[in-house]
Structure formats: C-alpha cells, structure tokens
Amino acid sequence: MNQTSAAQGETMSRWVTFSLENETYGIDVMQIREVIRGAEISPIPGAPHYVLGIINLRGNVVAIIDTRSRFGLPSREMDDASRILILEAGDYVVGFLVDGVSEVAELRNELVESAPDTGSGEASKFISGLYNREEGLLILIDANRLLSDEELAEISSF
C-alpha cells in the first residue's frame, strides 16, 4: 500500500550507499559513473595529502582521493571490500576510495532532511542532507562539493 502511494504522488531518487568507518553514506546515482574494485593505485610524489595516487581506467588517467582523509577519519589499508567510486564532478572525473559499497537505495525526496548544524562551516559543506532509515541515519553527499574548485584544478593537472 505504501508503495502505491509512493508511486503516485512522490518523487523518488536513487542513491548508492557506501561505508566509511562505522557510518553509511549515500551519493546520488546520477553523479556516479561507475564503481570499481580496488585497482593498483600508483602514488604520485608531491601530490596533495588527500590524493592517494592515480589509476589507469581504460586508457584514462584518473586521480584517486582518500575519502577517509577528506572526511577527517583515520586512514586504513585497502582490503577486499574496498571500492573506488568514479564520480563526475564538474568537468572532471575523479575516483574516491571507500571502505565498501552496499546497495542502491530508493529514497523518498520529501523525507530528506537538511544537513544538521555541526559547526564545521566550510569543511562539511559536501553533506547535502540526512535520511532516516530503519538501519540508521544515512548521510547524503553532494559529489560536486566534495572538492573545492582549487582542488579540482590541482588534480586536473595530473
């Protein structure tokens, strides 16, 4: 019954959920080009601290961001569950390393809550909202705001 009413009046959106440390995050499927298994990442000497290195993605060189460092979390070795989200941010294609990718969740847009004020100003502006599910709160991320314009420019020079 719920599903019928959802189909009639509400707008839904689809989000890829991924995990980092103990929390679950969501990113709009429209902003994700693909999800790949942890590939061989070649480190780049002198790169910014949040850049893990580069990979060769079917002939294209893509910079890989350490999402943990971006989010202020302790770093961790890659394992079998690790995935790289290839995102389209502005004109650039960038990879973000995460602990694991879980599913594609359908969210009702009207239930998305605005991001809470946690006192970090600029640092957390990539959080676009929160979504309450039975499994717990999902933190929604806007891929376009994960990197600043300066950072994107810096990365694009690789």
- Measured from the Cβ of residue 137, the count of other Cβ atoms closer than 10 Å reads 13
Bridge partner list, 103? 17
With beta carbons less than 8 A apart as the criterion, state whether 78 and 67 touch: no
Looking up tokens 């949040």 gives 50
Number of C-alpha atoms within 13 angstroms, CB side, residue 145? 15
Contacting range for another protein; rule: CB under 8 A; set: 9-17, 26-34, 43-51, 128-136 = 128-136
- Under the binding rule (CB under 8 A), the answer on residue 132 touching another protein is yes
CB of 156 to another protein, least distance (A): 24
Of 6, 105, 130, 152, which one interacts with another protein (CB under 8 A)? 130
> What 3-state DSSP class applies to 89?
strand
- Under the binding rule (CB under 8 A), the answer on residue 105 touching another protein is no
Of 12, 61, 104, 123, which one interacts with another protein (CB under 8 A)? 123
Of 43, 116, 148, 153, which one interacts with another protein (CB under 8 A)? 116
With beta carbons less than 8 A apart as the criterion, state whether 91 and 102 touch: no
Residues at the contact surface with another protein, assessed by CB under 8 A: 20-23, 70-73, 113, 116-121, 123-124, 127, 130, 132, 136-137, 139
